[in-house]
Amino acid sequence: MSSVAFDEASRVLASVRDVVAERPGGADPPAWCERRGWTPFLAALSPDEVQRAELDGLAAHVASFPGAPADLVDLARAVVALTTLPTVDAMATADVDPRRASPRKRSQVAAFAALVGRVGVSPSRVVDLGSGHGHLTRHLAGALGVEAEGWERDAARVAVAAALARDGGARFVTLDARDAAGALRSTDLVVGLHACGALGDLAVRAAGAAGAAVAVVGCCLQKREGDREPLVVPSGMTAAELTLGRSVLGLGNARDGDDGVEEDLATRTTARVHRMALRAALLAHGMEIGAGEEMRGVNRRRASGSLDALVASACALRGVAPPTVAAIAEAGRWAAETYEGVRRWSLPRTMVARLVEVWVALDRAAWLSSAGYASEVVRAFDASLSPRNVAVLGRPM
């Protein structure tokens, strides 16, 4: 991977730290919007322009919107340039075992096999970290004709994977990858499909420590304990400039569902209004909720269902009795009114969401390069299969 792309992405990310750090949450524009002089432009966008920017991303339209600030247009260009990744030709899905696998998962698995071809090694074993139901593990065992193991910490998923592999081909172990990194060998290929949270970093570092090849597609970067510190700091920058908190890492899911099933705009809008209402209801109920933490532990799909049920489940998780129906309705009214401003102020922040996700992958690839690997960041498959589609590939040299 060229260190120029990583250095440039790091510089652009650091330049928008204020934008990613402050999430628009009220009728008033965030401080970064005011400071950068973007408020009048965003406030003057017509409802049609707002909708087009929400559907296609602000970067696709900002240059053609009247009165667009020059620095916002420049930022859009930089984000597009840095997040447009090389693609890898996908393979047919016909030979991916359909048992318990959705058509989307089968296509992702088939595309992953093409990624492995691009890594260009002949491993003696495949180790799939966070193997879930083992679709990728079993497929690679057959496609590469090698021993394959799935290391997965969730015992119920391991049981399903083992049952599906009863006729041989792959082996599954209940194991937290954090405890098993030392068991990797230099002749392994370490893979991870939707290796969530810190697992993507772990996979890259564990492979690097063993000298093994690696191919990892990450997801849900915010599902981790604590902030994410950079693996590599470009010269002239500090680790603090590139340390990202969970609410920033969660931005990667700003436009789409966390396992790749993209919802339509109306559903996403309902979910956002309900999240704002949830936060308002919990705060008014005297609860302390950190920025972006209102949905912690709650399945994100619940946000597009009933607001009463959403508030009830968030309270139950925290062991608190829910607010009254009237208080929840009041929070709902406030959120619906306030969202009209929030959706405008959110456009620049959502625009840099993909940069956060791609930058994390570039950071992983830069770390591999520093460990003597040939590394690259590619788009693993089309966003319609899953928008969490950024792959880090590494081959020891």
Binding site for ligand SAM (CB under 6 A): 105, 130-132, 135-136, 151-154, 157, 176-178, 193-194, 196, 199, 219
Residue among 147 and 154 whose Cβ is closer to ligand SAM: 154
Closest separation in Å from C-beta 343 to ligand SAM: 29
Residue among 23 and 106 whose Cβ is closer to ligand SAM: 106
Residue among 101 and 368 whose Cβ is closer to ligand SAM: 101
Q: Which residues contact 130 (CB under 8 A, 6 or more apart)?
A: 151, 152, 153, 177, 192, 194, 195, 196, 199
Closest separation in Å from C-beta 7 to ligand SAM: 30
Closest separation in Å from C-beta 223 to ligand SAM: 8
Strand-pair partners of 390: 379
Backbone angles phi, psi at 300, to 5 degrees: -60, -25
Residue among 12 and 254 whose Cβ is closer to ligand SAM: 254
Residue among 258 and 363 whose Cβ is closer to ligand SAM: 258
Question: Which helix (H) or strand (E) covers residue 193, if one does?
Answer: strand 188-196
Residue among 93 and 131 whose Cβ is closer to ligand SAM: 131
Written as one string, the DSSP assignment of 250-311 is: GGGGSSS-TTS-PPPHHHHHHHHHHHHHHHHHHHHTT----TT-TTTTS-GGGGGS-HHHHH
Residue among 45 and 219 whose Cβ is closer to ligand SAM: 219
Give the residue carrying structure tokens 């969530």: 196
Closest separation in Å from C-beta 82 to ligand SAM: 25
Chain-centre distance of CA 42, in angstroms? 26
Closest separation in Å from C-beta 161 to ligand SAM: 9
Closest separation in Å from C-beta 310 to ligand SAM: 22
- In sign, the C-alpha dihedral spanning 345, 351, 354, 355 is negative
Closest separation in Å from C-beta 159 to ligand SAM: 12
CB 50 within 8 A of CB 347: yes
Residue among 130 and 169 whose Cβ is closer to ligand SAM: 130
CB 231 within 8 A of CB 367: yes
* Angstrom distance (rounded) from CA 259 to CA 219: 8
Helix (H, G, I), strand (E, B) or coil at 167: coil
Burial of 15: CB neighbours in 10 Å, binned 0-12, 13-18, 19+:
middle
* Nearest residue to 274 (alpha-carbon basis) of 309, 240, 241: 309
Give the pairing of strands 213-219 and 390-396: antiparallel
Tell me the two tokens of residue 115. Answer: 């990624």
CB 9 within 8 A of CB 355: yes
Residue among 14 and 91 whose Cβ is closer to ligand SAM: 91
Closest separation in Å from C-beta 154 to ligand SAM: 4
